[in-house]
Amino acid sequence: MIYAYTENLNGKYKKSSFEVVSYAKTLADMIGDTVTVITINSDDSPDDLYKYGATKVLNVKNEALKVFDPKVFAGVISQLADGNYILFSHSNESASIAPFLVKEKDAAYITNVISLPISASPFQVKRNVFSGKGIATVETTASKLIITVSANSVGCKESPVQGIQENPQVNLPTDPGYKVESSELNTGKIDLKEAEIVVSAGRGMKGPENWKIIEDLANVLGAATACSKPVSDAGWRPHAEHVGQTGKVIAPKLYIAIGISGAIQHLAGINNSQTIVVINNDPEAPFFKSADYGVVGDLFEVVPKLTEKLKVFKG
């Protein structure tokens, strides 16, 4: 049996969940198996999970699991996943759950996977290494395997099956010996990790008071906003927007970098973007080496003009 853990935000499945189910279905077809989804407190319809190939959805409904606790979540998944493969999206959530499962199941662990399996036996796949600077082909003969699939790396392929949903009961620790308190900032804006288009800005913006031009461009494109590390360190933007080696790792279809120099630590978080557009007034800025399209110019002139043109185009 192949298990795919699907994340949800406020009860709704994240887009990356469909990609991991689709991935699991491809693997299932390779080895002649089926896909069972494990999810916790989802309020969403399971129909899209069936559409991408899940034959069974185990949706654990439990008030005690409303607060995210990686160790407890790993315990829940461990009770339900009685097979050789457990698949996750590569995310902060999986990075904190999966290691507990690896130990519990004595499984091999392959993270940041960016290709469909090259072979199922032995299991062979490509993964990102060195903060996205390299790609490694890895192979394991381990009988149990836990993998995390990088978002937007393989995409979703529809493969509809007849599915059923169950709400299994699980045992929870009465007192794990600690208390996790969680608070989530719900701005109602587009989630950066899920966004197809990201408008990102750096120290070239000169100060937080100038961010309206970034938000205007993001609004017209239906994009999420991001920033470089010094910008969030200075408190110009919230830390949740910081991308890079020490921030979020994203892979949108379009990444627009404005007034960002393109340091290696920044690129580590965005170099899997499908198309990169750079706006910078320094033609020697390192970011241009990674750009698909570049505009050499003053961002305070270029960005408002771009927004106006896009508004006209959309109109």
Ligand X SMILES: Cc1cc2nc3c(=O)[nH]c(=O)nc-3n(C[C@H](O)[C@H](O)[C@H](O)COP(=O)(O)OP(=O)(O)OC[C@H]3O[C@@H](n4cnc5c(N)ncnc54)[C@H](O)[C@@H]3O)c2cc1C
**Range in contact with ligand X (rule: CB under 6 A) among 6-14, 17-25, 140-148, 202-210:** 202-210
**Range in contact with ligand X (rule: CB under 6 A) among 25-33, 115-123, 174-182, 256-264:** 256-264
By CB under 6 A, residue 204 contacts ligand X: yes
- Fill in the per-residue mask, 74 to 113: x = in contact with ligand X (CB under 6 A), - = not in contact: ----------------------------------------
**Range in contact with ligand X (rule: CB under 6 A) among 55-63, 127-135, 184-192, 243-251:** 243-251
**Range in contact with ligand X (rule: CB under 6 A) among 50-58, 140-148, 164-172, 259-267:** 259-267
By CB under 6 A, residue 285 contacts ligand X: yes
Q: Which is nearer to ligand X, 84 or 200 (CB)?
A: 200
Q: Are 30 and 117 in contact (CB under 8 A)?
A: yes
Q: How far apart are CA 173 and CA 36, in angstroms?
A: 24
Number of Cβ within 10 Å of residue 186's Cβ equals 9
Pairing of strands 35-40, 2-5: parallel
Taking Cα atoms as reference points, which of 247, 190, 223, 185 lies closest to residue 306? 223
Number of Cβ within 10 Å of residue 169's Cβ equals 9
Three-class SS state of 285: coil
Taking CA 34 as the corner, what is the angle to CA 194 and CA 100, rounded to the nearest 5 degrees?
60
Taking Cα atoms as reference points, which of 274, 275, 301, 273 lies closest to residue 210? 301
Q: Which is nearer to ligand X, 217 or 285 (CB)?
A: 285
By CB under 6 A, residue 261 contacts ligand X: yes
Of positions 78, 219, 281, 290, contacts ligand X by CB under 6 A:
281
Q: Are 151 and 91 in contact (CB under 8 A)?
A: yes
By CB under 6 A, residue 230 contacts ligand X: yes
Q: Which is nearer to ligand X, 252 or 269 (CB)?
A: 269
Residue numbers at the binding site for ligand X (CB under 6 A): 202-204, 228-231, 244-247, 259-261, 263, 265-266, 269, 280-282, 285, 298-300
